[in-house]
């Protein structure tokens, strides 16, 4: 199985529903619609893995720390995955903002 450099980004964007929904919904259905069943099954572990990594970044959950927490997540993901596109980083931020509500 070969992955292109933007597969992680596109998989995460699709899996979360970014650019198509008003709130994140993590669903293989989005991957299937965008990539077909076989490719979706290959991309799902990438998207879920990135979501786990995003969720594991330590955050403070205080009113004063929200911007710092958002920046910390972005910095950590850029460091771990320099191949992520700006659009994927926006999707990560979008997911974080909703999950921290």
In a domain, 46, yes or no: yes
Containing structural domain, residue 53? 7-99
- Residue 83 is given by DSSP the state T
The single residue listed with the structure tokens 């992955």 is 3
Q: How many domains does the chain have?
A: 1
Question: How does pLDDT run across 34-72, given as a tens digit for each residue?
Answer: 999 999 999 999 999 999 999 998 887 766 778 888 889
In a domain, 80, yes or no: yes
Evaluate whether 12 touches 44 at the Cβ level (below 8 Å): no
3-state secondary structure of 18: coil
24 versus 64: which is more confidently predicted? 24
In a domain, 43, yes or no: yes
> Over the chain, what is the mean pLDDT?
90
Nearest to 68 by CA among 91, 25, 100, 26: 100
The single residue listed with the structure tokens 């995460």 is 12
In a domain, 67, yes or no: yes
**pLDDT value of residue 3:** 57
- Structure tokens of 74? 């972005």
């Amino acid at each position: 199985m070969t992955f292109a450099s933007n597969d992680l980004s596109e998989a995460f964007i699709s899996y979360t529903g970014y650019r198509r929904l008003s709130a994140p919904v993590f669903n293989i259905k989005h991957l299937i619609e965008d990539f077909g069943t076989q490719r979706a099954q290959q991309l799902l572990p990438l998207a879920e893995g990135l979501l786990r990594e995003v969720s594991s970044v330590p955050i403070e959950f205080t009113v004063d720390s929200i911007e710092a927490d958002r920046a910390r997540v972005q910095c950590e993901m850029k460091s771990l995955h320099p191949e992520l596109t700006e659009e994927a980083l926006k999707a990560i931020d979008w997911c974080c903002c909703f999950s921290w509500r």
